[in-house]
Chains A and B, each alone.
Chain A
Amino acid sequence: MELKTNSRLEKVLKSGQLAVTSECGPPRSSAPEGIIKKGHLIKNHVDSINITDNQTSVTRLCSLAACVHLKLQGLDPVLQMVVRDRNRIALQSDILGAASFGINNVLCLSGDHQSFGDNPQAQNVFDLDSMQLVQTVRRMRDEGKFLSGDEIKVPPNMFVGAAANPFADPFKIRVPRLAKKVAAGAEFIQTQCIYNVDKFELWMQQVRDRGLHEKVFILAGITPMRSVGMAKYLRKSVPGMDVPEELITRMAGVEKAKQADEGITIAVETIQRLKECKGVAGFHVMAIEWEEKVPEIVERSGLYPRPTID
């Protein structure tokens, strides 16, 4: 397959091998050491590393700067960009800025509503939505044009991704929504955390029925649960998250000290099952503030070593 960018993620995916990505959250401080340390913890076990963009609307060190720190370490960051905080001028500007540092991946997101974060009184922007951001980056890269139509002398070299949540409602438009993102220009998809594997497989069946798996690389989202408390919280309090009752029962059936191990095992089993699911092109392992467990999950899932890319 023809390569469009210098992205390591794109190269792995187009080589036909299962890709592995992970994510790191930047600190609530101006010190870069934490994010660099997280990057080094997982760098040998993943192809690319997402940097979240003020996730849950809590103010943090910006995604772009954190991506630069990882890039300077020789890693392949995925710049997460939410449209909540920036208008089309700032979004296009930041894309150029990221590309100027050789950042080759962007994940276009709408972003959690600011009411969840540390500044619920903030204005939100939502000038574009995530789908329109995908369109924007593709236009900048492929046509060498700003949204205004003005020429970009050196277009940004970005592999463009988007998110998909197979578990949100209404279910009947979840695949049409993916089709829309693909039509907008998404080249890779990272999904919401998968706990209800049956439902995910049903979604993938519908994805294949429309041939979308041949148009976009789908990375299945995996988040290990640390405790039965986390499982219950995800089930009850996080909109768009689908944690089946049997997983809660399974976590609750293990003594507290071993629940974290059980959560890792569930994550590994999910990956192993989905490796057999046609159309799954890789895994996005989101071990939230638990990055040190990513190597174990990747190794136990048979996804190690990672491919060598020039």
Chain B
Amino acid sequence: MIIGEQKPLEEIWGMVKRHKQLTVFGCNTCVAVCHQGGNKEAGILASLLRMKATQEGVDIDIVDGGIERQCEHEFFESARDMLARSEAVLSLACGIGVQFVAMKYGTTPVYPALNTTFLGDVISVGYFTEKCQACGDCVLGLTGGVCPVSRCCKRLSNGPCGGSSNGKCEISKEIDCAWQLIVDRLEALGRLDDYEKIPPLKDWSKDRAGGPRSFKLEGI
């Protein structure tokens, strides 16, 4: 899923303080799982901003609400009136939701409350790790189900580099060496011979490098 992290309150305040009215708007799917952008977090953030406004002596009417997903039209129905009355919206969605709101409400200022950080999993309660960069050309079939694009700091197609040490990456002892994991996994699968196969050069035109991507289902 998409993982995000709330921006520091000061940064958020700097963006919104000029308004007289603000709607703090949660997105209750991906970023709710990481407890950063759900409707509950929208309520908490709205309270913090009201306190901040009081401290700073700024007169601003702050309401909060949210929907299940800010990236699809159909979910906006329940919030239509609230958004229509808003002078400005502080969206707790990922960057996709923020842009979707901005696109739907062409003259309403929309601000991001989160930094969208990565596509990841939930390793344990409250612990999220990056697992995919949406490179558009999945190699997991070759690499034993461990992604070198998102998990190797040099995204090497043929790793590990010389900095792999005791299973960890040269840049941090907190980061597993992806290629150690790939080698371990290939060995567990009885496929270590595959390590010596050299894959074709990666086609980065399917990645961000090729420009904004889209996908259209035919016949719908």
B93 within 8 A of A: no
B183 within 8 A of A: yes
Q: Which of A130, A131, A173 has the most CB of B within 10 A?
A: A173
A180 within 8 A of B: yes
Per-residue contact bits, chain B 89-126, to A (CB 8 Å; 1 contact, 0 not): 00000000000000000000000000000000000000
A67 within 8 A of B: no
B87 within 8 A of A: no
Known: A113-B170, A239-B170, A240-B164. A129 touches B196 (CB 8 A): no
B43 within 8 A of A: no
Q: Point out the residue from A88, A176, A192 that lies within 8 Å of B196, measured CB to CB.
A: A176
Contact between A131 and B164, CB atoms less than 8 A apart: no
Contact between A168 and B165, CB atoms less than 8 A apart: yes
In the complex the two chains form, what is the Cα distance from A179 to B198 in whole Å? 11
Q: Point out the residue from B158, B180, B192 that lies within 8 Å of A169, measured CB to CB.
A: B180
Known: A169-B165, A239-B165. A132 touches B158 (CB 8 A): yes
Contact between A124 and B154, CB atoms less than 8 A apart: yes
Q: Which of A135, A169, A184 has the most CB of B within 10 A?
A: A169
Contact between B198 and A183, CB atoms less than 8 A apart: yes
Per-residue contact bits, chain B 121-160, to A (CB 8 Å; 1 contact, 0 not): 0000000000000000000000000000000011111111
Nearest CB of B to A297, in Å: 23
Q: Point out the residue from A126, A132, A184 that lies within 8 Å of B154, measured CB to CB.
A: A126
Contact between A127 and B204, CB atoms less than 8 A apart: yes
Contact between A168 and B183, CB atoms less than 8 A apart: no
Nearest CB of A to B197, in Å: 9
In the complex the two chains form, what is the Cα distance from A124 to B158 in whole Å? 17
Contact between B180 and A170, CB atoms less than 8 A apart: yes
Tally inter-chain residue pairs, CB-CB below 8 A: 92
B76 within 8 A of A: no
B166 within 8 A of A: yes
A128 within 8 A of B: yes
The residue on A at minimum CB distance from B155 is A126
Known: A192-B162, A239-B163, A239-B170. A129 touches B198 (CB 8 A): no
Contact between A180 and B158, CB atoms less than 8 A apart: yes
Q: Point out the residue from B163, B184, B187 that lies within 8 Å of A168, measured CB to CB.
A: B163
Number of interface residues of B (CB under 8 A): 30
User: Which A residues lie within 8 Å of B158 (CB)?
Assistant: 129-132, 177, 180
User: Which B residues lie within 8 Å of A129 (CB)?
Assistant: 154, 156-159
A110 within 8 A of B: yes
Nearest CB of B to A173, in Å: 5
Number of interface residues of A (CB under 8 A): 35
Contact between B164 and A168, CB atoms less than 8 A apart: yes
User: Which A residues lie within 8 Å of B13 (CB)?
Assistant: none
* Interface residue ranges of B166-198 to A (CB < 8 Å): 166-168, 170-171, 177, 180, 183-184, 187, 192, 195-196, 198
* Interface residue ranges of B15-61 to A (CB < 8 Å): none
Contact between A169 and B167, CB atoms less than 8 A apart: yes
B201 within 8 A of A: yes
B9 within 8 A of A: no
B79 within 8 A of A: no
The residue on A at minimum CB distance from B173 is A239
B82 within 8 A of A: no
* Interface residue ranges of A101-154 to B (CB < 8 Å): 110-113, 115-116, 124, 126-132, 135, 147
Contact between A170 and B183, CB atoms less than 8 A apart: yes
In the complex the two chains form, what is the Cα distance from A180 to B196 in whole Å? 6
User: Which B residues lie within 8 Å of A164 (CB)?
Assistant: 162
Contact between A113 and B153, CB atoms less than 8 A apart: yes
Per-residue contact bits, chain A 224-267, to B (CB 8 Å; 1 contact, 0 not): 00000000000000011000000000000000000000000000
Contact between A168 and B196, CB atoms less than 8 A apart: no
In the complex the two chains form, what is the Cα distance from A239 to B160 in whole Å? 12
The residue on B at minimum CB distance from A242 is B165
Known: A173-B195, A183-B196, A239-B170. A132 touches B157 (CB 8 A): yes
Contact between B154 and A110, CB atoms less than 8 A apart: yes
In the complex the two chains form, what is the Cα distance from A56 to B157 in whole Å? 21
A–B Cβ pairs within 8 angstroms, 10 of them: A113-B170, A113-B171, A115-B153, A115-B171, A131-B198, A168-B165, A172-B183, A173-B195, A240-B162, A240-B163
Closest 6 CB pairs of A and B: A165-B162, A239-B170, A131-B158, A239-B163, A239-B165, A129-B156
Contacts A170-B160, A176-B195, A177-B160 aside, 11 further interface pairs with beta carbons under 8 A come to A110-B161, A112-B163, A112-B170, A113-B163, A116-B171, A128-B201, A130-B161, A168-B161, A170-B183, A240-B162, A240-B163
Interface residue ranges, B against A (CB under 8 Å): 153-168, 170-171, 177, 180, 183-184, 187, 192, 195-196, 198, 201-202, 204
Interface residue ranges, A against B (CB under 8 Å): 84, 88, 110-113, 115-116, 124, 126-132, 135, 147, 163-165, 168-170, 172-173, 176-177, 179-180, 183-184, 192, 239-240
